[in-house]
């Protein structure tokens, strides 16, 4: 297994993602952050055309942030923890509730709209997720 290190703009500093050549092919564990540095590190170290599987260990942005990028540039099969997959699938519902909560704490409606637009504009949520029921099978 190879460790790949990339700097992040987050308080955590540098983070790691891992690749391995297994009998089934090239496998990636986590992705690194959705930053230009993260993309460059991924391109330099991982042959996305050969990537078979992408496993996300947990849903912190520095672990799944390039999942959508990888899915757009490979045929890899994506695996997410079940509860995190549910969060992504219920994103719209969750954002509505966040807007309600923010409003209850005195934030204006514009703030909630801008927050939601920032999530959708950055396209970091993986587009190809199986249903949680399929993930259990």
Sequence ranges of the domains in the chain: 1-81, 90-124
Q: Pairing between strand 2-6 and 15-22?
A: antiparallel
Q: Is the dihedral of CA 81, 84, 88, 89 positive or negative?
A: positive
* Predicted confidence (pLDDT) per residue in 49-93, tens digit: 999 999 999 988 899 999 999 999 999 999 989 888 888 788 889
Residue-wise pLDDT for 101-118, tens only, equals 999 999 998 998 888 887
pTM comes to 0.76
Q: Is 54 exposed, middle or buried (0-12, 13-18, 19+ CB in 10 A)?
A: buried
**133 pLDDT more than 60:** no
- Both tokens of 81, joined, read 């923890």
**Structural tokens at position 61:** 């942005």
Q: Which CATH code fits 1-81?
A: 3.60.15.10
Q: Can you give the three-state secondary structure of 97-108, one letter per residue?
A: HHHHHHHHCCCC
* Strand partners of residue 21: 26
Distance CA 112, CA 97 (A): 10
């Amino acid at each position: 297994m190879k460790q790949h290190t990339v700097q992040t703009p987050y308080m955590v500093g540098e983070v790691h993602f891992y690749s391995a050549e297994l009998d089934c092919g090239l496998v990636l564990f986590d992705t690194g952050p959705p930053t230009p540095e993260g993309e460059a590190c991924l391109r330099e170290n991982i042959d996305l055309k050969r990537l078979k599987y992408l496993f996300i260990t947990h849903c912190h942005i520095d672990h799944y942030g390039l999942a959508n990028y990888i899915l757009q540039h490979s045929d890899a099969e994506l695996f997410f923890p079940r509860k995190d997959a549910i969060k992504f699938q219920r994103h719209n519902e969750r954002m509505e509730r966040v807007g309600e909560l923010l409003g209850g704490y005195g934030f204006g409606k514009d703030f909630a709209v801008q927050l939601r637009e920032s999530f959708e504009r950055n396209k970091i949520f993986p587009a190809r997720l199986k249903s949680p029921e399929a993930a259990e099978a």
